[in-house]
Amino acid sequence: MLSPLSVAAIQMSSQEDVAKNLERACALVEAAAADGAEIAVLPENFAFMGEEEEKRRLAEPADGTGPILHAVRELARRAKVHVVAGGMPEKSSDAARPYNTSFLVAPDGSIAGRYRKVHLFDVEIPNGPTMVESGATTAGDLDIRVVDACGTKIGMSVCYDLRFPELYRKLTALGARIVTVPAAFTLTTGKDHWHTLLRARAIENQVFVIAAAQHGKHPRGRQTYGKSLVVDPWGDVLAQVGEGEGFCVARLDFAYQDRVRAGLPCLTHRRMP
């Protein structure tokens, strides 16, 4: 039987200064680790939120030798914690369109897994921003996998993926007990949809959801919703961050998850692939 696990959702208000963003990310993860967290999830764009041209310049190689991922690997070693490095630019075959990649870094500093964002945010929100993520980002392929951390399986996703339940069903079918959702949800969509979508993904797949978000005002006129949180398999919010930067820690009880799945065995009742 899996032992309970303490996890943290980190909330940031990242700007254009990579060094300052990384300093803040390290401080928050270290504080969460000191509070007992064994896995800490950083938000999407944790290291940089700014102009697309600069994002392209910052894109790092997949082997983890770039300065951003190096800083995260050192952080994981120092804090002795698994770190989900939200979403960050990773080089692709198209120099103008890097991947938006979430890395899982183990406490020994090794890269234990990665996920390249599949669904890209190309929308024109009424009375809100127009975003064309595909213009500066390459979508990941559909070779979806789960990763191992702290003796359990984790499914990784990024932000806009949250609107596509088939991804989370695939991760659950592969054995995920936890899914991570680093995000930079807009204020417009976040206030109406963030909690509802996160709780829905948790309920329908009977998984724990760790959602780490950006909050506040950023360059290029962006404003994000925040409300980083952890949801349990029944859809209850276990912990949530308030306004501004910070973190929340929740304890995941896998025995409780087993009881939920046994008492309402909807995952065994599926009739469609």
Residues labelled as active-site residues: 44, 117, 159
- Look at residue 128 and tell me whether its pLDDT is greater than 70: no
Say what the pLDDT of residue 4 is: 97
Q: What is the token pair recorded at 102?
A: 């979430």
CATH placement of domain 5-268: 3.60.110.10
Q: What is the pLDDT of residues 25-57, one digit of tens each?
A: 999 999 999 999 999 999 999 999 999 999 999
- Look at residue 18 and tell me whether its pLDDT is greater than 70: yes
Give the list of residues 6+ apart from residue 181 with CB closer than 8 angstroms, or none. Answer: 157, 158, 159, 161, 162, 198, 201, 209, 210, 211, 212
- The residue ranges of every structural domain in the chain are 5-268
Give me the amino acid identity at 224. T
User: Residue 247's pLDDT band (boundaries 50, 70, 90)?
Assistant: very high
Which range is least confidently modeled, 67-81, 119-133, 195-209? 119-133
CA-based nearest residue to 116, from 64, 157, 151, 164? 157
- Look at residue 97 and tell me whether its pLDDT is greater than 90: yes
Say what the pLDDT of residue 44 is: 98
Which residue is it, tokens 């234990």? 112
- The whole-number average pLDDT for the span 184-211 is 97
Say what the pLDDT of residue 130 is: 78
